[in-house]
Every structure is written in C-alpha cells, then in structure tokens.
Structure 1
Amino acid sequence: MIGCAAIVGYGATPAFAQPADPGVSIPPGPPGISLPDIQRWIDQVIPAPALTPAQADSPLVDTAELPPDLAALRAAAMPAAIGDSFVDDWPDGLDGYDPGAIVSVRDVTATAAPTLIVPVRQVLQVKYRTNDSHDEASYGIASLVLPVGDWPGPGQRPVVVNNLPIDALGRDCNPSYTMAHGFSRASNFTGYILPTTQLALLRGYAVLITDHEGPRMAYAEPIVAGHAILDAIRAVRNQLPDELGDSKFGMIGYSGGAIATNGAVKLMSEYAPELSDVVVGAALGGVPADFSLLAKSMNANLASGVFLGAVFGIGRERPEILAHMNHLADWAAVSVLNSQCSEVFSVPGLLQLPIDLAANIPDPLNSDLAHEIYAITRMDGKKSPVPLFIFNGEQEFWVPAAGAKNLYAEQCSLGVKAVYRSVFGEHFVGAVTGYPESLDWLDQRLRGVPAPNEC
C-alpha cells in the first residue's frame, strides 16, 4: 500500500496559522468543527518544537535559500544516521563526478547470500553520483547480485532492475541494509513477497536493486527515484564493462516500486538518453501514477498514516511542504517516526483522521501547492522511450485503477508500445494475480522477443 499527496499550500501564511499571542488564553478544546478552527486550536495548544539551527554547509539540507526556522525543521526531519559510513557519509567533491560515476564499491556477499535464499556468486554494493529532484548533486546506493554459472544465452548477461517497494522513512529499511547487515527488525521483506530477485537469478539474470529513495529517504518522490535507478544502471555498466557493459536491462516494480519505475522511464529520454537502447522495457503494477487520486482514496481511513509518511518523504525534497505543516505535524516530522519503516509510521492510520489536520491552511489537498505537486509528480506528457506493461487491481480502493489506466492511455497517445491488464483484486491480491504475466512479459523482452503493442 503506497500513495501520497501534498497536504499543504504555499504562499502568504493565513491569519489563523500565526503563532498564538502569549496574552491570549488557550481554549479548553476545539472551538468548533471547521478545519481552520481546529488547526488554530492545535497550534495554540501544541507549541512548536525547539530545533537546533541547521548547519549552513550541510549538503543533505541545502539551507542556502531557506529561512532559518524552515532550514532547522528540514534538517531535523531528515532520516537518522544508521552507523554505516558507506550509506551515511555524503561524499566529498560530489559535484566533480558525472551522474552514474562510482564513488566507492564494497563486496557484501558474505552477509547478502543468506538473505537471498538462492545461490549467488557475488553481491556488490556501489555508491555513485546521482541528482536529486532539483538536479543538484546527490548520491545513490545500489546492490548488484550476480548468479552462479555462466550466462547460457547470446550476448552478455541481461539484468533485471528490481525496484522494490521500500515505502520507508529510515535508511535501515532499505534493501541494501538488509544485504549488508543481515536480518533485523527493519529488514525489507518486499524482495520475497514477490520473488522477482530469486526467480531472475535462477534464470541466469543478474539483478540490480536500488535504494531509490536517496539519502534523504524521499519516500514516494518519483524524480529522485527515477534518477537513482537510471544512474545505478550507468554505475554497474561502468563497474563491470566486460560482463555488463553491453547487457540489456529490464525494469519491474509494484506499488512504491512502480512509482520509482514510472519515474525512471518517464525521465529516461531527457536524463539518460543513452539508456533508451539499453533498457528493453518496464513492467509496472499497482501504479500510484496520480497522487491527486490518492488524496481522496488514502485520506481519513486506515491508509492515513502511510499517506502522511509519504508527504513527509516528499517534503524532505520540497521544503515548501514542510513550511505549512502545523505544530502537531512538525513534532511528528522530527520525532522517531521520521526514521521508521512503514509498519511503524502507518499505525496512526488506525485513528482514521483526515490528513488535513496536519496542515495550517484550509482545504490543503486542494491548495495551489498541492496541485503543483500533483503535476510535478505525475510528469505529464513525458514519453517512455521503452515498451511498458501496466497492470492494476480492478477492485483497488487504495490505489485506484484510474491512475494506471490514465497512464496507459497517455503513453499510448505518445506512441509507446504498451499493454494494460486489469487484474482481479485490491492492492495486495492484485499484486499476486497480475505478477505472473508481468514477469513473463519482462522475460520475453530480455530474451529479445519484440514487445507487443495493444494500444
């Protein structure tokens, strides 16, 4: 289950969001049922968190153009370090690297092999230059899994780019952490529920798994994810040119992994055009392609906690979102929740409260900024240069099928070879019912079979 929407608006701060006058008594309870009244009452009852000023030279926060209070909030909302310098440390001189250039490499075969279940020859983790959502220098971490034995087919060994649903705010929830450190409370088990990695390895493919949320753990942000995936492909081709330099790559992702896959294919032509002849296709399922739909389907219900977590994730890249959260949301953003996996930060969804309560403006999901974020993350009109297989559960209520169908129609209108499958089930059942055909479709692309076009 994955989805997000902007909960805030941007512009002049409305009168009711101003800090409470110390001389005015705090009301004993919500003064009315209107959203502005409740929001004002929250900010009167709950003080803003006291925050340490942001470090001016922190590349993780980029405080140059932010007011001091917002810079401090953004810094405090970032994911906590996990004690792994390979993941935590921002590389020196990153601006001097080209996107996809490798910063460092480590071999994690000893710890990764037991977590992958099937036999493997080697597991390498690469740290490389990529770009954030504003095209500023950032870094990515990706894990390359190589199977045992020689590739029996023609050409170099193909690579499956398995974009897992990371759906997390903490760095130790990434698949690379599980492979480098073994199983823990934060282990990412989405690599087993749909066993793409294991099946691909058994077929002789290499598998590339990217921590596509980036160092800020920008949960549900498709531009960060798209850049991270494309630069990971560049990185492994650079790292193993003799084995993978001329390989074909195929992408697959479900739910949060579909957000990342959609970002990669839509950004490929402008960001990494040389990969258009390298990537043979992408399969996407349970696709949260339009966050404006999720603003209705994942609000004021059991999905609200996941919804709010995704808003925080996007806000790490787009601090204008953080600028208009109220004090209650500020406390949540800087609490231990900001470095947790989804099974923790989704728990507040049990209260089924509307996410509007976290903003300080009326009608936040219909605000100007919300619509701006919807458009940015939808990436309207950007054409995939590679064939697509798209599927969605017809009984979906968290991630409505309308978003996937609209994506299919858009890409067909742009001339993309595409297939759409409406499968039985809601989000979790649909993941299973649509999976076999999507995997078979990808397997055929990697084996050189021309892609069908059902547009």
Structure 2
Amino acid sequence: MAAIFPLPDGDGFYFAPPNVGDFQPGDVIRSRPMSAPAYPGATAWQLLFRSTNSADAPIAAVTTLLLPAGGGGDRPLVSYQPFVNSLGMECAPSHSIFNGSMQESPALNLLLARGWAVAVPDHLGPTSAYGAARLGGRLTLDGIRAVKRFAPAGLAGSPVGMAGYSGGGMATGFAAALAPEYAPELPIVGVAMGGVPVNIGKLARDVGSRPSPLFGLGFAAAVGLEREYPSQLSMERILKPAGFALRSQIANACATQIIDAGANKSLDDVFTVPMDTDPTTVRVLHDNSLETFAGVPRAPLYQWHGAADQVSPQLAQEVAGRYCHSGTPVLFEPIPGADHGTAIALGAPRAYGYLADRFAGIPAPSNC
C-alpha cells in the first residue's frame, strides 16, 4: 500500500487549473470574497495561488486574507500560521476560520484590532502534508506574495511580519529561514514564533519511545511526510498491522481525532523497526527540521518557549543561538513553569508587541 492521501476538498475553488505551471510562485489564480461575522468589521477574501512542492512541481494553495475596517492602504501585514496538526482537508485554516473550529481565532482578532491586515495560509498544502515544514515555509512566503499582488487588498507596499506557534511555528520558522533566498523581495521586518519543534525526528523519538498521550501527532507527521515525499518514504515496509490500521483511521482526521486515535501508543506498537534507521528517512527529517536546515533568517526574530515544555526548549534555544551567531537579532524568552499548552497564551502578547515595535521601526532587541 502506497501513501494514503486525503479525500479531496469538495469545493472546486481549491482545485489547481491544468495550467498551474504557467503561473509564477505567488501569483493569484483565483479569488473570492467571504463572509466573516466572527471578525467584526473585517473584510475577508480567499486567494488560490501558485506555489511549489518539495519535488519542485507547481501546486495551488489557499490563503485567507482578513482586512480590518478601512481597507488596505499599505497597512502592516501579518502572516499568521496556525497549529493545524491535521491530515484532513476539512481541517485547513481556510475552513476552520469560518466554521468556528480554529482555536486561535482570538489571536486573529487581536491582530486585526491593531489595524493590521492578516493572512492565514493553508500551510500544510493541497494534500495536508502535516510535518512537511519546509513546504509550509514556501507556502507561507508564496501566500504573502499573493496577498501583496492582489490589487483589491491595497497591500503592495505593506511591511510584513510573520507569527505562529507549535506546528504553525515550524512553518513560520522555515519561512523566515527560506526567505533570504526564496523570497528576498518580501519586506519582512519581524518574525515571532513559539513552542517550535526544531527537530521533528527527535520529537517523534521523545514522544514515541514509551506510551504517550500525544503519540498520534508524531505518527501523523510521518503520514504527512510520506504524502509529500511519496517516491522517497514508504511506511508500508515497516508498519505493523496496528500501524496500517492507525494510518487508515487518521487519514482524514483533524488534530483532536488524531490525538484520541493515537493516545498512549508508542513506536513499538506500530513499527517493526525504527524509522530513523533508514538513511532516506533521516534525510527527509533533516530537510524539515530547523535544527539541521542550513538556512538562517535575516529578519529580526522573537522566540518564546515554555521552560517546562515537552517540546525541547534546549534544542530551540540552541537553534536561536546559531541564528544569533550568524548575525540575526534574536530575542529568546523562556516562559518559567509553562508547558506546551500554556506557553502560547503567555507569550503571544509579547510576540504581538514585538511585531508592533518592528512595524514602528524601533531597533530590534537581542539577548544573544
């Protein structure tokens, strides 16, 4: 059995046209206005844009744009990457923003209240390739390009900030690290990311070596990477019957369903041998982990992490240190006593204040 892909989205807006390769990365293919009563006073659009997958093939992806009252006018633009952590297409931010299932909706309203435009990309892409963080970085950058090229938004001259937590922080971090080469024209003035798993292989090992309530998320990341690298990764060689069953069970699931399905399982329950014994798998994991990715952000960076986080704060701080030594202004703040679930709310106000200072042109602080 090859990689299991999700059921396609039933909405034709998401479909890539046959000539998607004729567009440039970030070009808008189609657009539509949306009703957004959960965001009072905001105008909402969805844009289908061209991007590129991990095999360098053209793909189409969606970003959702929220404009505060008063329209564009080159106001600050924040690309916010939610922690989707899912494998089903119906879980994408472009759906959850409007059906009330996005847990981070209050954050979007906080950004809009500052007068900022907000872009929310479906950073897992058209196959919901959870775990493919480098793809998420490309989609984030191309989504920003699309919003700035979308004339009705009036954001062509807007300064750009990026923000995200956990899985959204992975996409944010990769966008920042890719930007100097992939999208050097974007005026990114600041990046804020928290709770970032900077090495997904090590995280999978940490949560899978013994029964864990969050094992399903690590297993789902393997499923997502198999989707994004179908010619390189094949889980079927090493899956036990329980592994095949779990992969089928979560193929179209959102985060809560994935967590419930995989709760208190371990690697030994689903794999015959460890995935990290295969050199190709290790290379794919390294390509999608900030710790082992050579790119360095050049935009100023604020990074926060719960000091009691199950996702290693030490690894996150080491990556921040590498960026510091490369000349990037980095402010790294541990949140005392906070774990992965509580650190987001504790660090977010500081993150948004950090972006506000960057938009205001205040020199970036650093504690390198």
- Alpha-carbon distance change, 440 to 372 in structure 1, aligned in 2, over 3 angstroms: same
- Alpha-carbon distance change, 99 to 372 in structure 1, aligned in 2, over 3 angstroms: same
After superposition, residues 16-415 of structure 1 pair within 5 angstroms as 73-74=2-3, 77-87=4-14, 89-108=15-34, 110=35, 113-116=36-39, 118-120=40-42, 122-149=43-70, 156-179=74-97, 182-183=98-99, 187-192=100-105, 195-240=106-151, 243-275=154-186, 278-299=187-208, 300-319=211-230, 320-323=232-235, 324-326=237-239, 328=241, 329-333=243-247, 335-350=248-263, 352-360=264-272, 362-379=273-290, 380-397=293-310, 399-415=311-327
Query: In structure 1, what residue type is equivalent to 2:154?
Result: E
How far has the Cα of 1:231 moved from its partner?
Answer: 0.4
Give the corresponding residue for 1:28. Answer: none
- Alpha-carbon distance change, 115 to 336 in structure 1, aligned in 2, over 3 angstroms: farther
* Percent pairwise identity: 29
Is the CA contact 1:287–1:403 (under 8 Å) kept in the aligned structure 2? no
- Describe the superposition over 1:239-280 as per-residue Cα deviations: whole angstroms up to 9, x where unpaired: 1277211100100100011011011011112211111xx111
How far has the Cα of 1:90 moved from its partner?
Answer: 2.6
How far has the Cα of 1:150 moved from its partner?
Answer: 6.0
- Alpha-carbon distance change, 306 to 344 in structure 1, aligned in 2, over 3 angstroms: same
Query: In structure 2, what residue type is equivalent to 1:234?
Result: R
- Alpha-carbon distance change, 358 to 119 in structure 1, aligned in 2, over 3 angstroms: same
Query: In structure 2, what residue type is equivalent to 1:133?
Result: S
Give the corresponding residue for 1:4. Answer: none
CA RMSD of aligned residues (A): 1.9
Query: Are positions 1:443 and 2:356 aligned together?
Result: yes
Greater relative contact order (CA < 8 Å, ≥ 6 in sequence): 1
CA distance in 2, matches of 1:419, 1:283: 10
- Alpha-carbon distance change, 141 to 404 in structure 1, aligned in 2, over 3 angstroms: same
Query: In structure 2, what residue type is equivalent to 1:173?
Result: C
CA distance in 1, matches of 2:163, 2:352: 8
Query: In structure 2, what residue type is equivalent to 1:218?
Result: A
How far has the Cα of 1:385 moved from its partner?
Answer: 1.8
With normalisation by structure 2, the TM-score equals 0.92
Query: Are positions 1:418 and 2:334 aligned together?
Result: no
Query: In structure 2, what residue type is equivalent to 1:288?
Result: P
- Alpha-carbon distance change, 148 to 395 in structure 1, aligned in 2, over 3 angstroms: same
How far has the Cα of 1:405 moved from its partner?
Answer: 0.6
Is the CA contact 2:305–2:335 (under 8 Å) kept in the aligned structure 1? yes
SS in 1 for 2:136: helix
Is the CA contact 2:302–2:331 (under 8 Å) kept in the aligned structure 1? yes
Query: In structure 2, what residue type is equivalent to 1:279?
Result: I
Query: In structure 2, what residue type is equivalent to 1:260?
Result: A
Query: In structure 2, what residue type is equivalent to 1:293?
Result: K
- Alpha-carbon distance change, 356 to 157 in structure 1, aligned in 2, over 3 angstroms: same
How far has the Cα of 1:365 moved from its partner?
Answer: 3.4
CA distance in 1, matches of 2:26, 2:62: 11
CA distance in 1, matches of 2:165, 2:61: 20
CA distance in 2, matches of 1:173, 1:188: 8
SS in 1 for 2:104: helix
Is the CA contact 1:445–1:451 (under 8 Å) kept in the aligned structure 2? yes
How far has the Cα of 1:336 moved from its partner?
Answer: 4.7
How far has the Cα of 1:144 moved from its partner?
Answer: 0.6
How far has the Cα of 1:327 moved from its partner?
Answer: 5.3
CA distance in 2, matches of 1:164, 1:384: 20
How far has the Cα of 1:165 moved from its partner?
Answer: 0.7
Is the CA contact 1:254–1:431 (under 8 Å) kept in the aligned structure 2? yes
Is the CA contact 1:304–1:348 (under 8 Å) kept in the aligned structure 2? no
- Describe the superposition over 1:68-111 as per-residue Cα deviations: whole angstroms up to 9, x where unpaired: x6xxx23xx11112311112x23211111110111100111x2x
SS in 2 for 1:391: strand
With normalisation by structure 1, the TM-score equals 0.75
Query: In structure 2, what residue type is equivalent to 1:92?
Result: P
- Describe the superposition over 1:421-446 as per-residue Cα deviations: whole angstroms up to 9, x where unpaired: 01021001111222221111011112
Give the corresponding residue for 1:36. Answer: none
CA distance in 1, matches of 2:274, 2:115: 52
Q: Structure 1: 5+ residue runs without aligned partners?
A: 1-68
Q: Structure 2: 5+ residue runs without aligned partners?
A: none
Flag the structure with larger Rg: 1
CA distance in 1, matches of 2:302, 2:197: 15
